[in-house]
Amino acid sequence: MEQTNVPHVMFLPFPAQGHIKPMMKLAELLNQAGSQVTFVNTDHNHDRLMSHTDLTYFHDRSPNFLFRSIPDGLRPDKARSASNFIEFLDTLQAVAKPAFRQLLISTGMRPTCIIADGIMSFAAIDVAEELGIPVITFRTFNASCTWTYFHLSKLVEAGEVPFPDENFDKSITCIPGYENVFRSRDLPGICRVENPGYSFLDFFIREASTMTRASALILNTFHELEAPVISRLNSIFTKIYTIGPLHALYKSRTKDLMISQSDSSNGVRLWKEDRSCMTWLDSQPLRSVIYVSFGSLVNLTRLQTLEFLHGTRRGRKHRIRRRRTCLEGNRGATGRVSSSSAQISVAATKINVMVRLWMAEIGLRKTRQVRRRRTLDSLLLDWSISLGCLAC
Q: Residues with catalytic annotation?
A: 19, 117
List the alpha helices (DSSP H) in 62-183.
85-106, 121-131, 143-149, 152-157
**CA–CA distance, 37 with 48 (Å, rounded to integer):** 19
The three-point CA angle 227-231-232 to 5° equals 125
Q: What is the DSSP string of 139-155?
A: ESS-HHHHHHHTTHHHH
- Map residue 373 onto helix, strand or coil: helix
With a CB cutoff of 8 Å and minimum separation 6, the contacts of 298 are 82
| DSSP label at residue 278 | H
10 Å CB burial of residue 118 (0-12, 13-18, 19+) is: buried
State the virtual CA torsion across 102, 105, 110, 114 in degrees, nearest 10.
20
Cβ distance 252 to 369 under 8 Å? yes
**CA–CA distance, 384 with 378 (Å, rounded to integer):** 10
Residue 183 pairs in a beta bridge with 171
Cα end-to-end span (Å), the chain: 25
